[in-house]
């Protein structure tokens, strides 16, 4: 049975087929072509089948988000399917899942490769979204270091002093700095390569969101996460669906004047941190 006879559909590309990314895609992909990319063939098979059984038009491709060539092949595949109107990047590793080197290479450099690659294939009027983290607000990077980051080619990021001398000290610092770099990567792209394509790109910085992978963090540092929940005005965690609602807005027609910025969605954790109502431990 042919469910959809339409041709030349707009393309939605998702890098990282986890629960948050798939929740976002479900909000925006009806009647469009979906390309899912992930390093896990099993995850792609499971998620792709779930989308198909829900009436979506899906293709999948194994992508190693650490490798430039693999990411570029993913972007080229997306462009071959039709006009790439949406790109969402959720690929990453959290502090209790990986060593500093892996976090820097995946969350920072790999994200940079993806922003660069899709900056060459986005269709006019298209929109991109990088999933960052509230952790981006937890370690202030000096202005001179931020300028170096903005002006560095993706391949050179690991050579910068802030990365070599600070991020590599431990996984927590690596994660905080990598996620702040995501903001700067989106800003640079919005002003340069994506601007040339007449496309937009923004970031979202979620707070404590319950996903299957988040339980690794909860199990490793339950007390720290409980303290953040209790210090927030919301006094609760959030779901992937709440992030997806905000993401659909940033990617959609009502946000066409929003470009190169970050939306912090954390229930008030960073507000409590900045006002001294809450202090990070360690």
- The residues carrying an active-site annotation are 175, 179
Beta strand spans in 16-134 (E): 33-38, 57-62, 84-89, 122-131
Q: Rounded CA gap, 76 and 146, in Å? A: 30
Token pair in block for residue 235:
């006094």
Q: Which residue from 214, 234, 211 is spatially nearest to 225, judged by alpha carbons? A: 214
Neighbours of 212 (CB within 10 A): 9
Tokens 């298209």 sit at which residue? 126
Neighbours of 184 (CB within 10 A): 23
Neighbours of 7 (CB within 10 A): 7
- Which helix (H) or strand (E) segment is 67 a member of? none
Please answer whether residues 66 and 110 qualify as being in contact, where contact means their C-beta atoms are separated by less than 8 angstroms.
yes
DSSP assigned state of 39: S
Token pair in block for residue 28:
């925006």
Please answer whether residues 126 and 200 qualify as being in contact, where contact means their C-beta atoms are separated by less than 8 angstroms.
yes
Beta-bridge partners for 243: none
């Amino acid at each position: 049975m042919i469910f959809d006879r339409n041709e030349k559909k707009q393309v939605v590309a998702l890098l990282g087929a986890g629960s948050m990314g798939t929740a976002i895609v479900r909000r925006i992909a009806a009647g469009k072509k979906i390309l899912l990319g992930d390093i896990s063939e099993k995850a792609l098979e499971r998620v792709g089948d779930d989308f198909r059984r829900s009436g979506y038009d899906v293709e999948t491709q194994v992508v190693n988000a650490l490798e430039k060539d693999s990411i570029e092949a993913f972007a080229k595949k997306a462009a071959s399917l039709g006009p790439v109107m949406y790109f969402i990047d959720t690929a990453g590793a959290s502090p209790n899942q990986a060593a500093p080197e892996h976090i820097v290479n995946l969350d920072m450099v790999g994200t940079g490769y993806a922003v660069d690659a899709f900056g060459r294939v986005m269709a006019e009027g298209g929109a991109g979204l990088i999933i960052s983290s509230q952790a981006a607000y937890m370690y202030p990077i000096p202005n001179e270091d931020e300028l170096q980051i903005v002006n560095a080619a993706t391949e050179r990021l690991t050579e910068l002093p802030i990365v070599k001398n600070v991020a590599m000290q431990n996984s927590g610092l690596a994660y905080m700095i990598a996620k702040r770099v995501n903001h700067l990567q989106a800003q640079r792209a919005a002003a340069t390569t994506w601007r040339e394509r007449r496309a937009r790109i923004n970031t979202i910085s979620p707070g404590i969101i319950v996903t299957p992978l988040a339980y690794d963090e909860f199990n490793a540092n339950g007390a720290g996460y409980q303290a953040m929940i209790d210090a927030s005005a919301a006094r609760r965690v959030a779901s992937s669906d709440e992030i997806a609602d905000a993401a659909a807005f940033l990617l959609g027609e009502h946000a066409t004047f929003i470009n190169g910025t970050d939306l912090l969605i954390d229930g008030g954790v960073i507000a409590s941190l900045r006002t001294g109502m809450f202090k990070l431990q360690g």
